[in-house]
Structure 1
Amino acid sequence: MFSCCEIGMMTLKAVNLSYEDNKSVLDACVLLGLCLLESIRVHLGRKGSLSDYGWQVILSVFITIPCICGVIFLVWKQTHVLKLEYILCALMLMLQFTELVFATIFLFSLCKQPTYE
């Protein structure tokens, strides 16, 4: 949903607003890279959790950090930012930070010694 909304808003801005020095190409490349990274991250997370391969889940958690940087770029460094983009990016950042917190808790729970009572 995030990707579809962002691509739609990027198209709207490209048609209606003026950009200087091909800044729209940079914005579009960042958005395309973010969509690609998010797709890879979600795929690795699902595949890793369903097949019990821990390295895929850990890689998915590490890919979250560049995804957060991409969303922050869309909010602060993009040439034109709509109010709807602020809302969607804030929601996306909250979800990604929540994922990082729960992933950290999960990784710490894996390191605990099992207790048998």
Structure 2
Amino acid sequence: MTAHILSYPDDRLTLDVCLLFFMAGLEFLRAYCGIRGNLQESEGYTGLNLMLSVPVVLLALYFLFWQSYVLRADVIIGSIHLCLDALTGIMAFGTLARFSSVYT
């Protein structure tokens, strides 16, 4: 077994860390909107949850394919994350449709 020492480019490290913190903030905001929208049966919060799903999925794709070094663990965790985001989006879309049909 051989070991490889890979240096991480400094400019890419800053970008990856900033994008990771940005994604964490978006995920927190998205989860908050999803919970609040579900509890209040609010179309606005549920719609915001769906809109925030788009940049989160794009960032997840970045970390899955285009970050400097993509390890096998990154592929596994990123794939699970994208599947859960897809499931969350489908559920949020169904919930939004139910909320809008109840009040009309």
What corresponds to 2:54 in structure 1? 65
| Residues 49, 92 of structure 2: 8 Å contact kept | no
Relative to 1, partners in 2 of residues 1:112 and 1:43: Cα closer, same or farther, differing over 3 Å?
closer
Structure 1 residue 33, shift from structure 2 partner: 0.7
Q: How many aligned positions are there?
A: 99
C-alpha distance in 2 between matches for 1:79 and 1:43: 31
Kindly indicate whether structure 1 or structure 2 has the higher relative contact order, using CA contacts under 8 Å at least 6 residues apart. Answer: 2
| Residues 27, 56 of structure 2: 8 Å contact kept | yes
What corresponds to 1:90 in structure 2? 79
C-alpha distance in 2 between matches for 1:37 and 1:30: 10
The TM-score, its normalising length taken from structure 1, stands at 0.74
Structure 1 stretches lacking a partner, 5+ long: 1-15
Relative to 1, partners in 2 of residues 1:52 and 1:104: Cα closer, same or farther, differing over 3 Å?
closer
Aligned residues with identical type, % of pairs: 24
Listed one character per residue, the Cα deviations across residues 64-109 of structure 1 (whole Å, up to 9, x for unaligned) are 1100000000011100111111000000000111112222223333
Structure 2 stretches lacking a partner, 5+ long: none
Task: Give the aligned CA root-mean-square deviation in angstroms.
Answer: 1.9
The TM-score, its normalising length taken from structure 2, stands at 0.83
